[in-house]
Structure 1
């Protein structure tokens, strides 16, 4: 029994896996990845580029260019597999670690940096990418996603049979967030209202330093039954399985059959954030065990076995290097924020009081800057 994926006194929960850590394809009676080698190569590119975003941003923080960074090292397959299951008109609500989801939704990863540099409140218009901004408040995005999903139903965008119209929502959170009341409320509302939302829990084994076995007596996926929705447990380091499981859950939501809870069993190989020291609460042997299950290496082994030429990997490395240069240069160009802009986004319609407060702030700011000059 693995203490990180099992709970004492409870039966083992089936884990959907389509690609082993050694790069071998396996079958599952309920889930299948039907994509060809070209599609797997595309997923591999997403994995590699997502990791490069993460490693570059981590380095930028260590060089003092970012105030903080929440690494996603080891969780790339869960994010890429699930995000690539989304259709353009579906909507995603991330937490603060979904760099791979942002990549798959077409966000320039440089736009992630401003939030963690402390220079802006968000890097993009959510409507441009059908992706909400990073959510720092743990678990609240599950409620946002449920409310949005309920709105889709009210607008007749669910269960029509039109693939260009029917839509779904996905909410991302970690195992720690399942201890928050917001997540339980979201699960309850979604089940009762049969909202078209998929709850995607990346169980990376730790809520900062608290292991998952200290957070939940039973596997997280078993909570689904208590709320009246199906639950699926998937190998979160298997991009093919994550893609297949999420595709099925999203289609179920689009068809008007209600929510699904997915528990993607993965591992945070780095620290919780750049302010964390994971060596204080876990040992090197544990990290090595999970490193052997690396989500990128298993896809590389599969592609090499199926005949992907060496040039593919060489060209991809060059592309990743170019992305690194782009991120470093973009970070240096981030301008200091104009705090007066904050007053422009308080109300949907401007008010006299709001304009007055902005004018008072601008006058104070200009006076301070004038005295310094």
Structure 2
């Protein structure tokens, strides 16, 4: 396989107007008609100032499906060099797709209505954008296609809306009062996650005009063999660390326990996320790729919260791969934590910032806390 693969265009689509910290709870709704007790604490730690929701701020109804968001981002790739009907392969991922079946990518294809093409749906959480990217990359690298589109989208706000928690609030008042950590596992993420979509066009040659990014390699690692689940939806975590999935539960419990809301074991997260999504996997990549920190011009980490910034920096120091903050690029504070979409949103802003120079190298890092995985992508500006 001798083909090179290039990102020739990047697009991001953020629904609606930016929502600030003082407005967000009125959009997401008040659980039990009471303001959240944890919102201010979580926001102070995560550093997010603005985010976007695919919700009508007055009614709370969805303004876009996840497939529609992805389609809007993909439409942003169209120009005089590329039309939707030119697309040979489409790989799309969403942590929470609009339905269980059909797959997410076919729904995106249905929204686009372009000519028949190869489609692949990826599943997971924060890494689904990168698994879609890797499939598209390998499709071209293998010579199977000359171009491919990778996309990720999130409409997590529909899951985070207060209406999804009301039955649990009513049914479990006493238990939630005695064990407030049960509520915090779910309330925590209401102030962390938000919506958006991103897409990239990959081709087997760079554009003659403007900037293209050569994909040098993509490495991914899972540590599920060592660690149990940290973030989950559609299940309850049992005392032995295993999950009981929704299909094994009484349907009445789906609402009583907010089974389809996203839960995060925050203690598990804090103790292990840096080691098992950054330090350990990057150490393997450094050895595999003979990678030097000095060679990195831009570091694009998916930071879920500013709380983890210095912890990540220390994690890099621990493996002698220090990258000073001047080389970091994130837009968490202005675009929010968009999960799997975040790397696309960062790339879109950086590519259009005018800051990139020919021959610079980019290291993209995407952690997934669901069961502790990490992805790294190395790019070169051409």
Q: Shared fold by TM > 0.5? A: no
Using the size of structure 1 for normalisation, the TM-score is 0.29
User: Greater strand share, 1 or 2?
Assistant: 2
If the length of structure 2 is used for normalisation, what is the TM-score?
A: 0.28
Quick check: which one's helix share is greater?
1
